[in-house]
């Protein structure tokens, strides 16, 4: 209650946000609900400690406890994903990807990634991002059917000979074919970075192919399907040099190169409270129940897709094999921006999103992106997905009728009373 007394304004805003989440359906596929244990670690006194360096090699004293915390997080990441090396210090996903660029490329080197507006991520070479300004960015895209265009990817790779090829994305509803991407990278002598941020929880739960052991280096956030705090992990196979000395740029030295890129290259002290919360989430992801959770995410997404297809909605790639759906609203006489607003008023949070080859502008695109991780965390299953699909359809159909949208929100509030935010871990 100290926050309420000391800063009631912030306290009230936090309470309002909790209420918004509890009484709504969080369907942005990059969002999830953490466990109470993760939140407890995140709000701990570990936030007070500086610990620049790595366990056993710190620039500060008093790190005996945070050393153990970081080693637990690294060991749990390695065990969960089958890597021999992990770095858990990157403050989030963008800094994790930046560290890989910093480690493996020089300014001006050619890099190649999936176009943001075809489902990629801004750190995969967007011209306005560091990845497209510091480096020479070449972008591959998706075919008209929404699937990644492997032929274009191969052709561009052979033409431009990139130093680094980035794979993965943020709005792609199909399986990432890591092995095929690696073939292309090997053909041109490029490093392959697999950014599995969106599907890491599905990988951990056995519902998506694991890029560790295929890609040269793997990055992931920890707060999406992995259901942890905001943070990131970088993984590869190999062992870093000790102490962190300058080494030549090679695949065998990736662990040392990335460790050096994080500190002293790009960051100072790690966020120890965040590291502890990541460790807690990784322990949760190692439990048998997490496999059931990952399976249910995909089952729920497929059920939602089937219901929306039956109502005449156009899904990019025709459906989903993951946790997310990308819907083209072009045939429904509504834009993505209008759809996001209408669903928001109905208590259903999604985001407007471009579709591959979108004729509309990014700030008012043709599509919306939605997913099932957070709803699955709350315990919802196929029956609820059918109800949600009906709500989505009614909200989009009545997007100009605020009274109708308010009535749907009332239904959402009633439905969510039976589904608490905290995940069921057993």
Tens digit of each residue's pLDDT (9 = 90 or more) over 275-327: 999 999 999 999 999 999 999 999 999 999 999 999 999 999 999 999 999 99
Whether this model's pTM surpasses 0.85: yes
- pLDDT, residue 151, reads 98
* N-terminal to C-terminal alpha carbon distance within the chain: 30
Residue carrying structure tokens 């943070």: 231
pLDDT band, residue 425 (cuts 50/70/90): low
Given CA atoms 306, 309, 311, 315 in this order, what sign does their dihedral have? positive
- pLDDT, residue 241, reads 75
- pLDDT, residue 240, reads 83
- pLDDT, residue 423, reads 76
Distance CA 424, CA 290 (A): 9
Tens digit of each residue's pLDDT (9 = 90 or more) over 216-231: 999 999 999 999 999 9
Residue range 247-272: mean pLDDT, rounded = 95
Q: Across the strands, what pairs with 113?
A: 139
282, two tokens: 């990784």
| Residues classed as catalytic | 50, 52, 195, 221, 224, 230
- pLDDT, residue 3, reads 96
- pLDDT, residue 242, reads 65
- pLDDT, residue 243, reads 61
Check whether 238 has a pLDDT greater than 90. Answer: no
- pLDDT, residue 245, reads 72
Annotated binding-site members for (6S)-5,6,7,8-tetrahydrofolate: 116
CB atoms within 10 A of CB 386: 15
Tens digit of each residue's pLDDT (9 = 90 or more) over 364-382: 999 999 999 999 999 999 9
Q: CA-CA-CA-CA torsion for 344, 370, 34, 47, nearest 10 degrees?
A: -80
CB atoms within 10 A of CB 50: 16
Residue range 73-98: mean pLDDT, rounded = 98
Q: Which domains does the chain have, with CATH numbers?
A: 40-285 (3.40.640.10), 289-416 (3.90.1150.10)
């Amino acid at each position: 209650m100290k926050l309420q007394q000391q800063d009631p304004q912030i306290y009230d805003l936090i309470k309002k946000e909790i209420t918004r989440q509890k009484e709504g359906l969080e369907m942005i596929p990059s969002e999830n609900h953490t466990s109470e244990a993760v939140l407890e670690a995140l709000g701990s006194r570990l936030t007070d400690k500086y610990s620049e360096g790595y366990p056993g090699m710190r620039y500060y004293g008093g790190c005996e406890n945070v050393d153990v915390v970081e080693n637990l997080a690294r060991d749990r990441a390695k065990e969960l994903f089958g890597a021999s090396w992990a770095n858990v210090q990157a403050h989030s996903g963008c800094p994790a990807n930046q560290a890989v660029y910093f480690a493996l490329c020089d300014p001006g080197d050619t890099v190649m990634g999936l176009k943001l507006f075809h489902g990629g991520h801004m750190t995969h070479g967007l011209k306005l991002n560091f990845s497209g300004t510091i480096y020479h960015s070449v972008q591959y895209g998706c075919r008209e059917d929404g699937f990644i265009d492997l032929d274009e990817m191969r052709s561009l790779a052979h033409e431009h000979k990139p130093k680094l090829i980035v794979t993965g994305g943020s709005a792609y509803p199909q399986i990432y074919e890591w092995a095929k991407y690696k073939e292309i990278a090997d053909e041109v002598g490029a490093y392959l970075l697999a950014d599995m941020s969106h599907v890491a929880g599905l990988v951990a739960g056995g519902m998506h192919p694991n890029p560790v052991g295929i890609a040269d280096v793997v990055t992931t956030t920890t707060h999406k399907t992995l259901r942890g705090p905001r943070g990131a992990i970088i993984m590869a196979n190999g062992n870093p040099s000790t102490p962190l000395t300058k080494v030549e740029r090679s695949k065998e030295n990736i662990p040392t190169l990335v460790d050096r890129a994080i500190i002293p290259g790009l960051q100072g002290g790690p966020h120890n409270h965040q590291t502890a919360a990541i460790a807690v989430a990784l322990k949760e992801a190692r439990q048998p129940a997490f496999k059931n959770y990952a399976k249910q995410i995909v089952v729920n997404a497929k059920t939602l897709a089937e219901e929306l297809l039956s109502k005449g909605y156009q899904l990019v790639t025709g459906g989903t094999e993951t946790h997310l759906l990308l819907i083209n609203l072009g045939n429904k006489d509504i834009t993505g921006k209008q759809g996001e607003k209408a669903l928001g008023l109905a208590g259903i949070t999604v985001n407007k999103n471009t579709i591959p080859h979108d004729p509309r502008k990014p700030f008012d695109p043709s599509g919306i992106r939605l997913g099932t991780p957070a709803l699955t965390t709350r315990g919802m299953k196929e029956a609820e997905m059918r109800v949600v699909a009906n709500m989505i359809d009614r909200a989009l159909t009545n997007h100009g009728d605020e009274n109708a949208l308010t009535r749907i929100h009332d239904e959402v509030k009633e439905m969510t009373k039976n589904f608490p935010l905290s995940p069921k871990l057993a």
